[in-house]
Amino acid sequence: MIDIQTQLFEGRDIRFGPIDYEKDPEIETKWTHDSAFMRMYEINPARPLSAAIIKKQYEKLEKQVEEDKNLYHFMIRAKEDDRLIGRAAIQWIEWTNGNAWLHLGIGSAQDQRKGFGSQALGMLMRFAFAELNLFRLSARIPEYNQAAIALFSKFGFAEEVRRRQALDRDGRRWDLIVFGLLNSEWQNQTRA
């Protein structure tokens, strides 16, 4: 049962928190050195980044949040020790149409496949639908990212667009799939 008393930013094992400019860059620089993770997380070329550059990117991100008003961004932390385990965002929000795009990732290998991503996606959807009151959400996922496809499908997202051969990786072309979910569909799930 979700109601107004249920905390938006607290999950069972994780919480959404702000950027920690001291500690987080040191962790995230490690993620950028993991090309397997980066190719699941980003469509842009994987590229190792220093902690200093990541700190600058955080500043840019928070400036964008403040100025553009079409982006919400969270650091995902483990409740047990408050360590950074991933990032989640609702981006490219079109307020007049009530739509937006989701982006999330669990950064280090030892935190993956433990249900943290699932909890984070659930919280992100609730924030988007019940706090931002968006009408629908989209996510674009490369066809080779089976874990993400399984996760979004589990939450009721439907494959809506298949952009044929839109990606070039490892010497071959891959489809880029767009998944979508309506607020009404989400409400039916949470009620059921």
Question: Which residues of the shown chain bind other proteins in the complex (CB under 8 A)?
Answer: 43-45, 94, 96-99, 135-136, 138, 159-168, 173, 178, 180, 182
Between 98 and 122, name the residue whose CB sits nearer to other proteins. Answer: 98
Q: What angle do CA 84, 73, 56 make, to 5 degrees?
A: 75
We find the least distance from the C-beta atom of residue 92 to other proteins, in angstroms, to be: 11
Smallest separation, CB 113 to other proteins (Å) = 28
Q: How far is the CB of 24 from other proteins (least distance, A)?
A: 27
Shortest distance (Å) from residue 96 CB to other proteins: 5
Report the residue number, 116 or 157, with the smaller CB distance to other proteins: 157
Report CA 187 to chain centroid distance, whole Å.
20
Closer residue to other proteins (CB): 86 or 142: 142
Q: Of 15 and 136, which CB lies nearer to other proteins in the complex structure? A: 136
Distance, in Å, from the CA atom of 82 to the CA atom of 192, rounded to the nearest integer, reads: 32
Residues, the chain, total? 192
CB-based contacts of 140, cutoff 8 Å, min separation 6: 43, 101, 176, 177, 178, 179
Percent helix, strand, coil in the chain, to 5, is 35, 30, 30
